[in-house]
Amino acid sequence: WMVDSNDLYGNTSLQNAMAQMVEEFRRADAVIQAVDISGLGTDSEAAERAKSTTQSAMFYIANETGGELFEDANNFGPELEQVLRHTAVTYVLTFQPDEMDFDGAFHKLRVKADLPQGGRIFYRRGYYAPRPYNDLDPLEKQLLASDAIAAAEPRKDVGVKILATPFKASAQTAYVPVIIEIDGKSLLHGQEGDSVAAEIYTYVSDSQGQMLDFFTQLVSLDVSKGKESFIHGGVKYYGQLFLEPGDYMVRVLIRNSLTGRTGVETVGVAVPSYESRPAVILPPLFLEPQDRWVLVRENREGADQGTVLYPFTVNGEPFIPAANPRVEQQGQIDVCLVAYNLEDSSMELAAEVFDADQQPIEGGSFVLVERTITGISGQDKLLGRFRPEGLEAGDYTVQFSLNDPEIGPIHSSSVPITVLN
């Protein structure tokens, strides 16, 4: 009865807390490199016992997360140099399990390698299966969205298409409407009921990766009336940005709030310096019927949406362009091309079609119908008609170019297009 079980077996509650802490580190993919500075301690029996306990705990944390323990340090400098040296070369090995239960269970990993004499290998001890989306804490859901935006890797659970068009707003700024098309069928997949909530996250970054602006919104819809139409269309969202001349990346994440199904898409936006170029042509704006879309406009608090005229008009009639236009093989689709500094009437407009591998191919025809004066200084609109003659059903890119008969191509822009059976 005089024997303390904690001295023999350790403190059970503390061990459980340590195990839980290590589990959270592993679940977060955190590798712990531990540096033990107990070499600074005094040379006594009590200090040695404390040192042994400390090193055992630090070794456990490091080893269980795939890291290493650096012992008996009196100075952080050399040990940190060792950490950097030991982690200077990392091999990324990936695999995809054939089947996986969404139960959050831990799966062990073992890595084998032929190493030179004295070589050692450190690796992740395992991975956790995803948990059901509805079981996640709200903070975890927010972090998942943040990771997807930061990684900027495409995800196709929910179909997303983007069109970002930089209209001249002033000598220093462009007004950039962002059209986001959310596929209704993939957004509704896996959920019950007729109420759908779509989370929309849009961020823009410059060429150095610095985030400059963003807008987010939760769109809640009742699709009980017209659900079949929604499945064949979806949500068309209109957002807006103000950007200075330069190259940017617009990242869009769409997530179903009930199922967690996610779509991530990224598109580049080049905002020209309108004053320094002889001519500029914006991404082509294809006109299509809007009856298959639920139209939603950004509701940003504090945003002054009245400072810029609505830019999508043809002969005074407003429209919303298609981010991914679709046209029947035997059909045609109208297109509006906005150009700046198009003063020379001898300028030629050419259209070219590229396949899914971005290789030019024969097929498709474009006819210029009219050139209209907009009343906006330096801006012209070219109205035409595109026919997918000779193109099989599939995905393509249509590129429009302004050509000077004397010096050749001046400026071009493109947009993806889908040809239907």
Tell me, what's the pLDDT at 359? 94
**Chain segment 292-338, per-residue pLDDT in tens:** 899 999 876 655 544 578 899 988 889 999 999 999 999 999 999 99
The H or E element that residue 155 is part of is strand 155-156
303 vs 177, residue with greater confidence: 177
Least confident of 30-44, 146-160, 273-287: 30-44
pLDDT at 197: 93
pLDDT over 90, % of the chain: 40
pLDDT at residue 47 in the model: 66
Residue-wise burial string across 371-387, b where 16 or more C-beta atoms lie within 10 A, e elsewhere? eeeeeeeebbbbbbebb
pLDDT of res. 229: 86
From 17-26, 144-153, 221-230, 241-250, the region with the lowest mean pLDDT: 144-153
How much is the pLDDT for 248?
95
Confidence (pLDDT) at 122: 77
Cα–chain-centroid distance for residue 166?
Answer: 20
Residue 306, beta-bridge partner list: none
Please choose, from the candidates 140, 125, 129, 124, the residue with its C-alpha nearest in 3D space to the C-alpha of residue 103.
129
pLDDT at 305: 46
The overall pTM is greater than 0.85: no
> 265 near 347, Cβ under 8 Å?
no
Q: Which residue has the higher pLDDT, 255 or 40?
A: 255
How many Å apart are CA 180 and CA 161, to the nearest integer?
Answer: 6
- The separation between CA 330 and the C-alpha centre of its own chain, rounded to angstroms, equals 35
pLDDT one-digit tens code per residue, 207-257 = 888 889 999 999 999 988 888 889 989 999 999 999 999 999 999 999 999
Q: Of residues 165 and 302, which shows the higher confidence score?
A: 165
| Separation CA 301–CA 317 (nearest Å) | 28
State how far the Cα of 193 lies from the Cα of 220, in Å rounded to an integer: 13
Provide the mean pLDDT of the chain: 86
